[in-house]
Amino acid sequence: MVVPMQIARDHDRIFGALGDATRRDIVRRAIDGEEGVAQLASHYPMSFAAVQKHVAVLERAGLVHKHRIGRRKVIRTNLEGLRTARRLLDRYEELWRERVDRMDQLLKEAPKEAHR
Amino acid sequence: MVVPMQIARDHDRIFGALGDATRRDIVRRAIDGEEGVAQLASHYPMSFAAVQKHVAVLERAGLVHKHRIGRRKVIRTNLEGLRTARRLLDRYEELWRERVDRMDQLLKEAPKEAHR
DNA sequence: CATTGGTACAACCATACGGTTGTACGGCTC
DNA sequence: GAGCCGTACAACCGTATGGTTGTACCAATG
């Protein structure tokens, strides 16, 4: 599994963004896609600016996007971002399964080896 | 989805650990579970100690574990760690789906509302 | 058009992180 | 048991990160 540098950076940003509990909670809340930055900020024990930064990190990672409604900017989770992360984890699990299969195959092909 | 603090910290460590390309590559290589720290280190353009630190981060996150073979310590990926991450992403996608379902339901129940 | 609500961004600070080198320790091998 | 291989860890350094406060900008509202 060779990962081109650009894709690797995308993965860095996605997993890096998800490595913070506040940001994961923003992702969860933004699934409904109804709150602006100020409303989101009201849920957390930190300044508006701090939450704004978290949102910016999520946006750069492609996990959410903003869209203007009146003077608010509503944050909505981007399903594709989540799926990108999930696909990579799926791929690792697939490699795991392939390894197990290979070991099973070895045992089947040369069962007597174990006794030599 | 209320996440207890301890679990949240686990998720911090898991996603945080995956937010680095070198560490993701170690996870991938360690699926085969054959290499010690020194062998792993030989693949990357950094010191042995740096790789050792990366392995320690992965270990604390529960994504790999070490097991002694002779004087080596072989690193093996822990499937459960990967699954923990995947389950959280699955949960987000499920919330997404539920939201879409709710919206569909609203449209079905009150189709004429849209015209008022 | 003055005001207010919502957002953006710069400057700053403390701490965490990713890397380095150097030293020490445990376990094969001779 | 001397020496070497593989690992562990401490100390250090530069930069990134997560937080703060303060200022500035737009857009709806009166």
The Cα of A60 is separated from the nearest Cα of chain B by a number of Å equal to: 14
pLDDT category of residue B54 using cuts at 50, 70 and 90: very high
Q: Tens of pLDDT along A16-40?
A: 999 999 999 999 999 999 999 999 9
pLDDT category of residue A2 using cuts at 50, 70 and 90: confident
E strand or H helix at B89 = helix B79-109
Would you identify the CATH topology of the domain B5-115? Arc Repressor Mutant, subunit A (1.10.10)
Would you kindly state where each structural domain of chain A is located, as residue ranges? Answer: 5-115
Which strand C nucleotides have any atom less than 7 A from protein CB atoms? Answer: 5-11, 17-22, 26-28
- Cα three-residue angle B43-B47-B50, rounded to 5 degrees: 95
Per-residue pLDDT, B108: 81
Q: What are phi and psi of A85, to 5 degrees?
A: -65, -45
Q: Label the pairing between strands B72-77 and A64-69.
A: unpaired
**Residue A16, nucleotide of least CA–C1' distance:** D17
- What is chain B's mean pLDDT, rounded? 93
B18 in A contact zone (CB under 8 Å): yes
